[in-house]
Amino acid sequence: MIDLDRTKAQMLAEINVSEKAWANRLSDLVAPGFVTLDEAFLVVSGSSPDDFLSGLDAALAARFASVPPERLIRDLYYPLKKGLGNAYKWGNRKDPDKQITVEVVATKTGALVAVADEGEGFDVDGILRRFQGDGQYFSHGGSGFEHFNRAQSLISYADGGRTLLIRFLCAPEPAENGAAKNSTCGAAGDEAFMKSLLAAELPHFQDNKTTLGSCRIYLPDDPEELEIKYVLECRQDQSAETKTVTLTGRLLPEAAAQKDFSVAAQLYKTQNGVHIPQPVAVFKEPSLVLFEFNPAKDLRDYLKKIAGFREVAEIIKIIAAGLRALHHSAIDLPAVETWDDALECYRAVKNKAVAILAQTSPSRAERVHGIFNRLSARAAMLKNFEPVPIHSSLGWENILYGDGKFYFFRFEQCRRSHPGFDAGSFLAELRRFYMLRRKADQNFHHASREIFLENYFGGNPPAWHDDLPFFTAGALLLRLDGLLQRAEEKWEPKIDALLEQCEQALE
């Protein structure tokens, strides 16, 4: 059982555990109680990660079905997977006679996971100091600490490095919302504070000729939204006339805000086709990035009002040229997304979907299984590629229209990877928009798709052009998660059509 020393006791308190958890001890990964009980204590053992990793993934996906898969992967799956790998390889030295024990205490608030090996342990403090100081902290790769550092969960070691502790919360960690808590935006929503901050820090006011008269703040209706609008009234040289400047602010964790600002600043200098909003500032307190940008609607809302193909074709040409320019840019993005990363994301969505659908529609659950299996088979045959800068989250909600121009926006997920992830995401949105709407037009979809590919590839498609079904179907599968997060009466009429589109994309 998990020891109640100070660190562990604090972690357990943060997930609101009670004595009920210890009474509900389970040893079977498929025990229904792990999903249904308010509090549960699961203990499993094996000699290698393969003995229980897939079962743990499925159990955790079902238990935390309401958590967005991207966050579940980053904050729980990846740390757990890396912890199991480290316990097997470096703790137990792959000795089949030594055991790895995983304990999971799960509540409605979150989970505490302990991964224990029977090895000799290691110098946790020394390795962490070298990691934080950018020294060589590893002997064989060292990706475990990188994954732990990216996760928002609280991660610690006990028993001289022989036990990894992961404290995961269902709700985002406080730092993930920046200052946005309890339906407020903290200092970022305080007009007096922001007026003082912006007057002191924005380049608009550094020449001592322009003064900030007022700062009006428009908070999002949804308290979970990250974006705030700032309308500034500026006066130059004591003139009676004022100029209005509108800024869009994004509350993000500090590292994400810095990345969003850095990528946008690099792309802004070399933009082509689709525009990039001008980043003007990034702050630590509050953790906020600001753009001089006032978007009116996203691409989906814009296209809803267009019936003629000629205008649609021109818009798609612009977006294809902009995406091609992004993929050919030389911006600094060290992180690389691999096939394994993508399949982990698809697997997480599959596990959640199956857990939800198995209760009411086993046939649909089987279809989701079949789609994932076909994606896995295709992944094994994908052609080699040179990683390029990609947006990595190119849903149409991130292609915005304002001031008569189209913009790419929200760059914190950018990385170096296969360009097919972006192209497939756009094609998935195109398929959903023109094939799943009430007035679906298959010819309109095919014509739009050809326009996009012709302008994106420039008439010279690379070898990976044949892999587009994998990327399109994968992007459609990810959309399944968003659909199933709604109430059943909302997704019930739409799910069969989405599954059919996934299957057709793989044909």
Domain span(s) for CATH 3.30.200.20 in the chain: 176-292
Report the Cα 122 to chain-centroid distance in Å.
Answer: 32
Half-sphere exposure of 189 (CA within 13 A, CB side): 19
Helix or strand (DSSP H, E) at 19: helix 19-23
Residue found under tokens 């525009």: 275
Find the Cα–Cα–Cα–Cα dihedral 359, 364, 369, 374, rounded to 10°.
-170
Which residue blocks in 26-67 are alpha helix, DSSP H?
33-36, 53-63
Determine contact, residues 466/330, Cβ cutoff 8 Å: no
pLDDT of residue 460: 86
Nearest to 318 by CA among 282, 274, 269, 348: 274
Give the burial class of 387: count Cβ atoms within 10 A of its Cβ; 0-12 exposed, 13-18 middle, 19 or more buried.
middle
Residue 277: asked if its preceding bond is cis (omega within 30°), the reply is no
CATH of span 6-171: 3.30.565.10
Domain span(s) for CATH 3.30.565.10 in the chain: 6-171
Give the burial class of 249: count Cβ atoms within 10 A of its Cβ; 0-12 exposed, 13-18 middle, 19 or more buried.
buried
Determine contact, residues 289/279, Cβ cutoff 8 Å: yes
Give the burial class of 94: count Cβ atoms within 10 A of its Cβ; 0-12 exposed, 13-18 middle, 19 or more buried.
exposed
Angle at 314 between CA 308 and CA 315, to 5 degrees: 95
pLDDT of residue 129: 44
Fold type of domain 176-292? Phosphorylase Kinase; domain 1 (3.30.200)
Nearest to 338 by CA among 421, 255, 263, 260: 421
How far apart CA 335 and CA 313 sit, in angstroms, is 34
Buried residues in 148-183 as b, exposed as e (16+ CB within 10 A): beebbbbbebbeebbbbbbbbbbebbeebbbbbeee
pLDDT of residue 38: 92
| Count of residues in the chain | 507
pLDDT of residue 133: 40
Highest CATH level, class, for 297-505? alpha beta
Angle at 344 between CA 67 and CA 101, to 5 degrees: 80
Domain span(s) for CATH 3.90.1200.10 in the chain: 297-505
Residue 147 burial (CB count, 10 A): 17
- Contacts of the segment 196-203: beta carbons below 8 A, 24+ positions apart: 197/283, 198/230, 198/232, 198/281, 201/281, 201/283, 202/280, 202/281, 202/290, 203/280, 203/281
User: What are the mean pLDDT values of the chain's consecutive 10-residue runs (507 residues total)?
Assistant: 61 88 91 91 93 86 84 84 89 93 94 92 53 34 43 78 88 48 66 90 82 87 75 79 89 92 92 87 93 92 86 94 93 78 88 88 93 93 88 93 92 93 95 76 86 92 92 94 84 90 91
